[in-house]
Structure formats: structure tokens, C-alpha cells
């Protein structure tokens, strides 16, 4: 599909995707597994997809972070340090990915999407306790931030699992912390992509409205809604869209 054709229909489709993706992301992470392949499918070039997605994701992750903070779940005393690590890591990742050609990205992105989906399939629950290795938390946060700047989908879920296994946080506490770090990595990547001209501002603003809507509803509902239904849907959609891109 070409972005120059049926623009209103395409934008409406991506608006709806942004609501669903942000709703899922605010609860379980992984919203980028829906927005990234959906934007690729309508014919937007890969770097512009990443830049525009970071723009709209900054709004949705900020909304989620604010709601979790106001409800008392953003409790980690080192949250500002972790935010900075995620921001810096993402900056390095974004600078690296922006130097890759579109041809490389069109091959690499579907492979990464499928890999992340497989990871979620085989890791349904995190039962490990790595609190005695807390010293590893700092470099791992930096690396996940780097991953978010370089690619992104699944970052929120990685952060959630990280704070469960390293700091024994509750699911809601780790989700709240992950949204703050995800906001940092999204915002850093957005700034760099915007400076380099890889943001579709009109589409980004439309998706930002959808993202804020989905993130608000999702984060407000997180106490009552789990990810038992969201996770399998996320995996299936990610795999189907990735295969569509890979073989198109």
C-alpha cells in the first residue's frame, strides 16, 4: 500500500492502531509490536516509521507514567538515574540506526519483530530472582534503552521483567517504572529523528491523540486488567504482520 493513496483511510487505520497499541503497552508493554509493522505495511519508509512512532509513543508513555505516578506506583528511589540511563542508551541506539540504509532496515525489522514475538511465547512468566546481581541493572537498563533507540518494539515488556527479577517489584510497580524509562528512551529517539527529518508530523499528531487515549484508559484499568488475554493477541498479530512485511 502506498502512503500517497487513500491517505485519510490510512491515517484513520493508524489512529485506531495507536489506541489499541497504547492500551496494550500501558498494561503489558509491547505496543510497538503493533504500530511499527502497521506503519511499514502502508508504505512508509523504515526510518520515518521509527521517527514518527517515537514521536507518538512519547505522548502515550508520558500519559501512562503520569497516571501511575499520581496513583502512587512510581516508587523506585533511583527512578531519575534509571531514566537518564535509558535516555542516553536510546540516544546512542538512534544515532546508530539512522545510519543504516532502508534496504537493511526492511530486512532487519521483520526479523527483530518475529524474534521478540517468539521471546514472548516462550517466556510467559518471569519466575527468576536476580536481586543478588543488582549491580547488573545499570548496564542492562542502558542496553535496553539502546535497543529502544535502535529498534524499539517490546522495550516496555523488557523493562517490566527487568524490575520484577532484579528488584522484586510488584507488577504494577515495575510497569510504572518501565513507563518512565520508556518515556525517556522514546523522547531521546524522537529528538534525534526529528532533527534528522524522519518524522511525519501530521500522522504523528493523529497517532499521538490515539496513543494518549489508549494509554489513559489502559493505565487506569491496569489494576483490574491483566495481560493473560493481551499477550497471546500481541504475539499473534506481531507474527502475522511481520510475515506479511517479510514476504511482501
User: Tens of pLDDT along 137-189?
Assistant: 999 999 999 989 987 777 887 888 788 888 888 778 888 999 999 999 999 99
pLDDT of residue 244: 58
pLDDT of 114 > 90? The answer is no
Percent of the chain with pLDDT strictly greater than 70: 77
What Å distances lie between residue 42 and 33, 205, 243, 245, CA to CA? 15, 17, 15, 10
Is the pTM of the predicted complex or chain greater than 0.85? no
Q: Which three cell numbers stand for residue 248?
A: 511482501
Kindly tell me the burial class for residue 125, based on how many C-beta atoms sit within 10 Å of its own C-beta (0-12, 13-18, 19 or more): exposed
Whole-number Å distance between alpha carbons of 13 and 16: 5
* Confidence category of residue 1, pLDDT binned at 50, 70, 90: very low
Whole-number Å distance between alpha carbons of 174 and 158: 10
* Least confident span in 21-25, 42-46, 221-225: 221-225
pLDDT of 233 > 80? The answer is no
Residue ranges of the domains in the chain?
Answer: 7-247
Whole-number Å distance between alpha carbons of 78 and 195: 30
The single residue listed with the C-alpha cell 527487568 is 162
The single residue listed with the C-alpha cell 542508551 is 89
pLDDT of 246 > 90? The answer is no
Percent of the chain with pLDDT strictly greater than 90: 45
Whole-number Å distance between alpha carbons of 27 and 220: 9
Task: Decide if 183 contacts 54 (C-beta within 8 A).
Answer: no
Average pLDDT, the chain: 83
Whole-number Å distance between alpha carbons of 150 and 233: 25
Task: Decide if 31 contacts 156 (C-beta within 8 A).
Answer: yes
**DSSP states of 17-64:** HHHHHHHHHHHHS-THHHHHHHHHHTT--HHHHHHHHHHHHHHHHHHH
Q: What angle do CA 60, 48, 46 make, to 5 degrees?
A: 110
| Residue among 151, 159, 168, 143 nearest 61 (CA) | 159
| Residue among 123, 153, 141 nearest 231 (CA) | 123
Whole-number Å distance between alpha carbons of 117 and 113: 6
| Residue among 96, 77, 54 nearest 182 (CA) | 54
pLDDT of 64 > 90? The answer is yes
Amino acid at each position: 500500500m502506498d502512503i500517497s493513496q487513500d491517505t485519510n483511510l490510512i491515517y484513520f487505520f493508524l489512529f485506531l492502531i495507536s489506541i489499541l497499541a497504547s492500551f496494550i503497552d500501558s498494561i503489558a508493554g509491547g505496543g510497538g509490536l503493533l504500530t511499527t509493522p502497521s506503519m511499514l505495511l502502508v508504505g512508509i519508509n523504515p526510518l520515518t516509521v521509527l521517527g514518527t512512532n517515537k514521536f507518538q509513543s512519547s505522548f502515550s508513555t508520558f500519559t501512562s507514567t503520569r497516571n501511575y505516578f499520581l496513583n502512587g506506583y512510581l516508587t523506585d528511589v533511583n527512578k531519575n538515574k534509571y531514566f537518564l540511563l535509558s535516555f542516553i542508551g536510546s540516544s546512542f541506539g538512534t544515532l546508530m540506526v539512522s545510519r543504516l540504509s532502508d534496504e537493511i532496515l526492511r530486512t532487519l525489522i521483520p526479523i527483530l519483530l518475529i524474534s521478540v514475538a517468539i521471546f514472548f511465547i516462550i517466556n510467559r512468566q518471569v519466575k527468576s530472582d536476580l536481586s543478588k546481581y543488582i549491580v547488573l541493572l545499570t548496564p542492562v537498563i542502558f542496553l535496553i534503552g539502546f535497543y529502544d533507540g535502535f529498534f524499539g518494539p517490546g522495550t516496555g515488556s523488557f523493562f517490566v521483567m527487568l524490575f520484577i527479577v532484579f528488584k522484586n517489584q510488584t507488577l504494577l510497580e515495575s510497569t510504572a517504572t518501565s513507563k518512565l524509562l520508556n518515556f525517556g528512551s522514546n523522547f531521546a529517539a524522537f529528538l534525534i529523528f526529528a532533527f534528522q527529518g524522519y518524522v511525519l508530523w501530521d500522522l504523528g499528531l493523529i497517532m499521538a491523540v490515539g496513543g494518549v487515549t489508549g494509554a489513559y484508559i489502559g493505565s487506569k484499568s491496569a489494576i483490574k486488567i491483566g495481560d493473560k488475554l493481551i499477550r497471546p493477541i500481541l504475539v499473534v498479530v506481531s507474527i502475522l504482520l511481520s510475515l506479511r512485511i517479510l514476504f511482501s
